Amino acid sequence: MGYLNLLRGAIVLLVAACLPVLAQTSRNAFVVSGDDDTFLALREAARRDDAVAVALLADRLPNFAIPSYVDYYRLKVRLRDASPTEIRAFLARYDGTAIGDRLRNDWLLELGRTRNWAGFDEQYPLFALNDDTQVKCYALLSRALKGQPAADDARNLLTLTQNYGEACPALIITLLQNGQFTVNDVWAQLRLAAEAGNTGVARRIVLLAEVPENLLMQAIERPDPLLARGVGAGRGAHEAFIIALGRSARTNPQFAANALQNAAEQLSGAERALGWAQIALQAATKLSPDAMQYWRRAQGAPLSLEAYQWQVRSALRAGDWKFIRTAIESMPPALKSDPAWIYWYGRALQAEGRAQDAQLYFQSIGALHGFYGQLALEELGQKIVLPARAAAVTPEELAPMVQNQGFRRAMKFFDLNLRFEGYREWNWELRRMNERQHLAAAEFARQNNLLDRMVNTSDRTQVAVDFTQRYPSPYADIMRANALPLGLDVAWVYGLIRQESRFIMNARSHVGASGLMQLMPATASFVARKIGMEGFTQGQVNDIPVNIRLGANYLKMVLADLDGSQAMATAAYNAGPGRPRAWRATLPRQVEGAIFAESIPFAETRGYVKNVLSNATYYAALFDNQPQSLKARLGTVAPKGFVASELP
């Protein structure tokens, strides 16, 4: 193995030294033509954990523009073997920087993995971002091993099993062993893991529940045969049966409901409620009309955070305001304080004739910028207008931004198309700034044509606001030339672009969508054919006029296909036209556009629709200089059968 690593490193060095330009021919080949490309090769070698190649490439960058990252990659691949003295020297050298905090994150994970609690406890209070679930689990594990209380914090933390890694199952095991967790907590975690399909977490903690691993794995992976056999004896068999109900309901809620009804006499009341809750969640995300009857049977069952929210969404579709009120009241405090549920709680109170109480809830979020703040404002009898613009940024306020070293590093990374690293550096600097400084940083971004950073930075202010920064409208002539002849609402198109790409001209999504309007290759080709664009090639997708022309035409197509509903057309632009047609077909009645948006099954599309239409409302206020209505823009959505369409 050592010989192979040495050979690989020698090849990298030979390529870097002898070939100024090497065409990329495979996923692991690099274009090497200078320090920038050598740095990109270094980054890739570090990602592959290739210590030999990292050392060789790092040696070729003695004068790189961002030496801290060269040093970081050099140390990162040797973190398990590096001495504490060497690591502390790096942290001291880059104290207060984003990459210093990143290495501390990496080291904390290693200290936790090796159970070096003295080192961990020393470093953890210095971890500024503290945004790593595994590090937080190690911190609670350290406390638990010292006999300190950790159970309540652990229950609040352990809600999304995909972020657990090795640390969080170890925490669960320790809390059970020292009596801070009970077997009920273990089963709650197993149900969460099953709900997410996370068999890795389930396997790590299954033995704590005193149930055979193969039984639990069958419940997760092959639930129907287990349900057909019925409920076995003992708690483990009952819990496995309940988990199997949820897993089976992912494909056929009615089959799972029949299995639960057949086994009802063998289960306790609490177990039956838990089983119905498992089925209800899956039925709800499928927008099944039966979801509400399942939720009613599930009352009193412990729920996941997703389940708490989906029982409200089911009730919104059904128009059951009393159920909405009681379901929101049952939410954990942190979830209940989300603006979405504050708004819908106010609506429920309003529906019950408690108008004055409802107004208090709307007032509590009416000043917030965004979807539910706008809707709350309309419930208070007001329209959406732009807030007063903050005083212009002065040259004295702008000067420190020009000199800010973190921003300089970010801009270098953006030049290299390393947006993740660029965002890390940029956002790190914003942590220490007040609102006026945020406006100055946003103005600095504007002057350097970093419109996405301008938008995101300006979005952070609450009192001193500048909506010309938050809602830019570049390429206005191109936009009007393409949107107006199609009868498209220009504010809506800009609202969509703001959400899609934040005006990054060469934006490319993880699924291959490109450009300002994030067009998939097949969609771009389809639209080009439809509008008679001769000679179109995929290389044109990032050309701004072409991207806007294709995107505007596609938006017009989906809008016409979905009866002129901006809510449904926005969903179609993100998830494909077939899905909103299917979602509409499941509606039991005509609903507000806000209810349609809130009950979209895909989390990404749900947030997308709300953000786009909120954006569009602000853009309309900017363009028209008139009060606007988000409710009018959302309209209503009525049930309708599937409509054949050739749209992809």
Closest-CA residue to 577 (of 563, 592, 587): 563
Give the chain's largest Cα–Cα span.
79
- 58: Cα separation from own chain's centroid: 34
Burial, 537: exposed, middle or buried (Cβ in 10 Å; 0-12, 13-18, 19+)?
exposed
Kindly name the residue from 195, 379, 500, 598 that is annotated as catalytic.
500
Closest-CA residue to 271 (of 291, 297, 242): 242
Sign of CA dihedral 539, 542, 546, 550: positive
488: tokens are: 């498209």
Residue entry with tokens 């996370």:
198
Number of Cβ within a 10 Å radius of residue 232: 13
CB 315 within 8 A of CB 335: no
351: tokens are: 């529906």
CB 368 within 8 A of CB 339: yes
* Length of the chain in terms of residues written: 648
Q: Who contacts 501 (Cβ-Cβ below 8 Å, separation ≥6)?
A: 452, 507, 515, 516, 517, 518
Sign of CA dihedral 429, 431, 433, 437: positive
Active site residue 44: no
Q: Are strands 636-637 and 591-592 parallel, antiparallel or unpaired?
A: antiparallel
Number of Cβ within a 10 Å radius of residue 540: 18
Q: Which residues are annotated as catalytic?
A: 500
